[in-house]
Amino acid sequence: CPRGSRPRRRRSPSGGPGCSPQRPFCSASPPSSTGTSPCTTRSTICGGQLGAATAKLQSCIVVMDSSLDMSSVFSYQSNDEFVPSRSLKNFSLLLSLSALYAPIIILKYIDLLSRLRRSGGSEVAFNKRLAYRVDIFLSLHPYAKPLVLLVGTMLLIGLGGLALYGVTDDSLSDCLWLSWTFVADAGNHANAVGFGPKLVSVSISIGGMLVFAMMLGLVTDSISEKFDSLRKGRSEVIEQSHTLILGWSDKLGSLLNQICIANESLGGGTIVVMAERDKEEMEADIAKMEFDMKGTAVICRSGSPLILADLKKVSVSKARAIVVLAEEGNADQSDARALRIVLSLTGVKEGLRGHIVVELSDLDNEVLVKLVGGDLVETVVAHDVIGRLMIQCARQPGLAQIWEDILGFENCEFYIKRWPQLVGMQFEDVLISFPDAVPCGIKMASYGGKIILNPDDCYVLQEGDEVIVIAEDDDTYTPSPLPKVKEAVYIDIVRHERNSQKILLCGMRRDIDDMIVVSPFFKPLITFSL
C-alpha cells in the first residue's frame, strides 16, 4: 500500500488486500519549488520504473519464444515487410490460373484465325491438324501414352501447388506436397478450411481422379493386349531342332501323326505349326484329331509364312526341318504361293539349319522351285505321286499295303545314314553287312547327293556316300562284320514277256497323262469312263 495507508484484513472489490487511507496524502502536500506537486513527481518515477520492467519482461518473452519457435519472430515484423509475401502468393495464384486457361485461349484464337483464312480456300482446320499430329505421335511411339500421363500428372501437381500457395499461408514445398496427396488420394481435401483452399483442393482432387482413371485404362489396355497376343498366337517361339510346318491343309493330321511316331524313339519333340488362321481354331482342330502325341508337343502360331517377321517369330533359323504345305484350290496359285514362301525362307539373314520340303500341286512347277531353293529344297508333287501309286497298285494287288508300311513310321521305313567303316566296300558286301536292315540304295556325295536305288554290285562306296536302308527305326540297325557265305550255283531267273493290260479309270483329273505314263517300258491300253 502507498505510504499513509495501512492494510486491512478484508478484501477490496478488486480482489487484493484493501488499503484505507488514514489521510489524503496528495491533497495535503504542498507543491515543490519547481511547481510540481509531489503526486506528479511520484507518478513520473513509478511510470519510469514500470516501463523499464515492461521492457525487460518483453525481452525475456521474445528470447523464450525464439528458443521454442522461430516463426514467432516474424509476427513482430511490420506490415511493410509482409506485403511482398502476400504479393508473391497472389502472383503464384495468378500464374496457375494463367497456365491453366492460356492454352485453351491460344488454341481457340488460332482455330479462329485458321477458319478466317480457309473461308475462301480448302485448308484443313487447325484443330484437325493438331488432332492428327497427336494421333500420329501416340501411334508411332509405344511409350507415348505413359509419357503424356506422367507429364499431365506433374503439371497438375505443380499448378495445384501454386494455387494452394496463393490461398494458404503454408510454404511452397508444403503446398506441392499437399497437391500430390490430393492427386494420390481424393479424400485428403476434407480437412481444408476456408473457401479458397476448399475450392483449390476439390479441383486438384477431381484432376487426380481423372489421372487415376487414365492410368487404370492404360494398365487395363496393356494387360488386355498381352493376353490377346497370347491367345492369338503372336508371341515368339523359343525352340531349336524343332519341326516347322507352314500352312494348313487336310493332310496335316496324318503328317502330325507320323512325325509324333518318328519322335517317339527320341523321347518326344516339338512341332510348330504356323498358318493364317486363328490360334484357338487350330488348337481345337488338332484336338479333334484324337491321336496319341507320344510325348511330342504341338505349338500353334498365327502368322503369314511370306513375312520375315512372322518366320523369325517361330525360330525358322533353328528348325531341324521345314515343311511347306500346298493350299487347296487352284494348282498354279498354290505353287506360286509355295515359291514365294521358298523365297522368304532363303532371305532369312541368320540362315537355315534344316532342309525344306515343299509340297507342290503341279509337276511342271517343280523345276522352278528347285531352281530358286537350291540344294536346301526338296519337292514333293503329292498329286502326281498319289496318281502314280494308284496306277501301280491297280497293276499289282496288295502293293498298297506295302506302300503304307514303308512310307509310314508304324513298321519299317526308309533311313539314310553315313557309315565311315563301309567306305571302300562294294555294294554287294554292303547288302550282307546289316543283319537288321535291308540296303536298297546309295546317296552319292560325288554327284551332289544324287540317289541311286539298287546300284550295281561292283559299286564301291566313296567318302561321304550314305546308305539307304529299310529298317524298323534309326537306332535298331548297325553294320556288322561280313558273314561267311556258302558258294552256290547261280540260278538264272527267266523273265516272262509282259502282256498288255487293260485298266479302267473312273473320273478325270488335270494330270491324267502323268498317271498313264508310269514307266517308258509300259504302254497300257487305257479305257476312260467319264
Do 48 and 56 contact (CB within 8 A), yes or no?
no
- Cell 512325325 -> residue: 259
Total residue length of the chain = 530
Where, residue-wise, is CATH 3.40.50.720 in the chain?
237-385
Do 145 and 218 contact (CB within 8 A), yes or no?
yes
Q: Give the CA distances from residue 429 to residues 433, 440, 481, in Å, rounded to whole numbers and listed in that order.
A: 6, 12, 10
pLDDT score recorded for residue 394: 81
Which residues 6+ apart lie within 8 Å of 91 measured at CB?
Answer: 166
- Cell 498319289 -> residue: 386
pLDDT score recorded for residue 525: 44
- Cell 502323268 -> residue: 514
Question: Amino acid letter at 486?
Answer: K
pLDDT score recorded for residue 293: 85
**Strands 17-21 and 5-11, sheet pairing:** antiparallel
Architecture of domain 414-485: 2-Layer Sandwich (3.30)
pLDDT score recorded for residue 55: 67
pLDDT score recorded for residue 244: 94
How many other C-beta atoms can be found within 10 angstroms of the C-beta atom of residue 458?
A: 8
**Residue 319 gets which letter from DSSP?**
-
**Residue 239 gets which letter from DSSP?**
-
Sheet containing strand 450-453, strands side by side: 413-417, 466-471, 438-444, 450-453
Distance, CA of 203 to CA of 197 (rounded, Å): 10
Do 455 and 429 contact (CB within 8 A), yes or no?
no
Where, residue-wise, is CATH 3.30.70 in the chain?
414-485
Element (H, E) at 6: strand 5-11
Element (H, E) at 384: helix 382-395
Do 528 and 401 contact (CB within 8 A), yes or no?
no
Which CATH superfamily does the domain covering 237-385 fall into? NAD(P)-binding Rossmann-like Domain (3.40.50.720)
How many other C-beta atoms can be found within 10 angstroms of the C-beta atom of residue 305?
A: 26
Question: Amino acid letter at 401?
Answer: Q
Q: Is the overall model pTM greater than 0.85, yes or no?
A: no
pLDDT tens series, the chain, 530 aa: 444 444 444 444 444 444 444 444 444 444 444 444 444 444 444 556 666 666 666 665 544 444 444 333 333 333 444 434 667 777 777 777 777 777 777 777 777 776 766 665 556 666 777 778 878 887 777 788 888 888 888 888 888 888 888 888 888 888 888 888 888 887 777 777 788 888 888 888 888 888 888 888 888 888 887 777 777 767 888 888 899 999 998 889 889 988 988 888 788 889 999 999 888 889 889 988 878 888 899 999 988 999 988 999 999 999 999 999 998 888 889 999 999 999 999 888 888 888 899 999 888 888 889 888 888 898 988 877 888 888 888 878 888 888 888 877 777 888 899 999 999 999 989 998 998 999 999 999 888 788 898 899 899 999 989 999 998 888 888 998 888 777 777 677 777 777 777 778 788 877 777 777 764 444 544 444 44
Distance, CA of 275 to CA of 279 (rounded, Å): 9
Residue closest to 373 by CA, chosen among 346, 353, 354, 333: 346
